[in-house]
């Protein structure tokens, strides 16, 4: 059985956004519960967390104020079929063909952690990727009322953005970035956007992810512009 079997991709909605396109589809996987169980049956490795890198470990907030884990290229037979079909839709190749990439994030709720995890005044790490990002939200309780992912426009230069590792400065003051779009997360919903063109990041609006690990799958694609940059 291929747990990555999806429903009819002709049901994907396509919307214009500036000079790009947004794609989204509800009821994406035929067996989302099996997908979710596959994602969590083993604990993923900590993301960007190398205990042999002393300088990195001095700077990272990961495991101190939150826990950020990821499957990053886990071989997953059958997933290449989905990669190929989405590649045709987006017109971009992927370097992760047949490999699983995920996000598993939970924020700590003690007083010190709350000072760091100040979602009211900060955005979570606006960043770009190589091309289209397709995200499948997989928390069963997600009903489409919460925001899942933001797109941003720069308001002023942020000289620290590329100077520090992600987990040394994961929260960025909202004065640097304006949110120009936000996608609502819903169980088994796929959303795809141009992650090379737009800075983006997960949307944290309340304490929900202090009590539950936020879990999703990401399928990354690569644009020609990325290769040329």
pLDDT at 84: 98
> b/e for 38-47, b at 16 or more Cβ within 10 A?
bbeeeebebb
pTM here is 0.96
Q: Give CA–CA dist 86/84, Å, rounded.
A: 6
Convert the pLDDT of each residue in 180-208 to its tens digit: 999 999 999 999 999 999 999 999 999 99
* pLDDT of the residue at 159: 87
β-sheet bridge partners, residue 6: 29
pLDDT number for residue 56: 76
Q: How far apart are CA 208 and CA 48, in angstroms?
A: 23
DSSP 40: H
In this prediction, the residues of the chain whose per-residue pLDDT falls under 50 are none
Measure the N-to-C terminal CA separation of the chain; round to a whole number of Å. 40
Contact of 187 with 136, CB cutoff 8 Å: no
Q: What is the pLDDT of residue 20?
A: 98
Domain ranges in the chain are: 19-228
59: helix, strand or coil: helix
In DSSP terms, 186 is beta-bridged to: 143
What pLDDT is attached to residue 162? 77
Distances (CA, A) of 146 to 29, 133, 202: 20, 19, 11
Question: What pLDDT was estimated at residue 7?
Answer: 98
- Which residues touch 7 (CB under 8 Å, ≥6 apart)? 25, 27, 28, 29, 30
Q: What is the pLDDT of residues 134-150, one digit of tens each?
A: 999 999 999 999 999 99
By the 10 Å C-beta count (0-12 exposed, 13-18 middle, 19+ buried), 35 is classed as buried
Residue 50 has a pLDDT of 80
Residue 164's pLDDT is what?
A: 87
Q: How far is CA 63 from CA 54, 58, 106, 139, 163, in A?
A: 15, 12, 10, 21, 21
CA distance 23 to 197: 15
β-partners of residue 69 are 46, 104
What topology is assigned to 19-228 in CATH? Jelly Rolls (2.60.120)
Structure-block tokens of residue 194: 């141009």
């Amino acid at each position: 059985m291929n747990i990555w079997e999806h429903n009819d991709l002709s049901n994907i909605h396509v919307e214009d956004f500036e000079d790009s396109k947004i794609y989204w589809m509800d009821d994406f996987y035929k067996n989302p519960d099996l997908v979710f169980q596959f994602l969590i049956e083993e604990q993923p490795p900590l993301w960007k967390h190398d205990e042999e890198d002393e300088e990195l470990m001095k700077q990272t907030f990961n495991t101190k104020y939150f826990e950020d884990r990821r499957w990053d290229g886990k071989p997953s037979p059958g997933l290449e079929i989905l990669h190929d079909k989405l590649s045709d839709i987006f017109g971009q190749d992927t370097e992760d063909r047949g490999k699983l990439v995920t996000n598993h994030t939970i924020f700590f709720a003690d007083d010190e952690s709350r000072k760091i995890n100040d979602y009211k005044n900060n955005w979570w790490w606006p960043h770009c990727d190589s091309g289209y990002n397709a995200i499948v939200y997989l928390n069963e309780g997600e009903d489409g009322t919460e925001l899942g992912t933001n797109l941003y426009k720069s308001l002023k230069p942020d000289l620290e953005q590329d100077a520090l590792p992600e987990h040394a400065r994961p929260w960025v003051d909202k004065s640097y970035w304006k949110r120009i779009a936000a996608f609502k997360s819903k169980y088994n919903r796929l959303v795809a956007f141009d992650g090379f063109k737009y800075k983006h990041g997960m949307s944290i609006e309340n304490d929900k992810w202090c009590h539950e690990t936020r879990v999703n799958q990401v399928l990354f694609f690569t644009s020609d512009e990325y290769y040329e940059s």
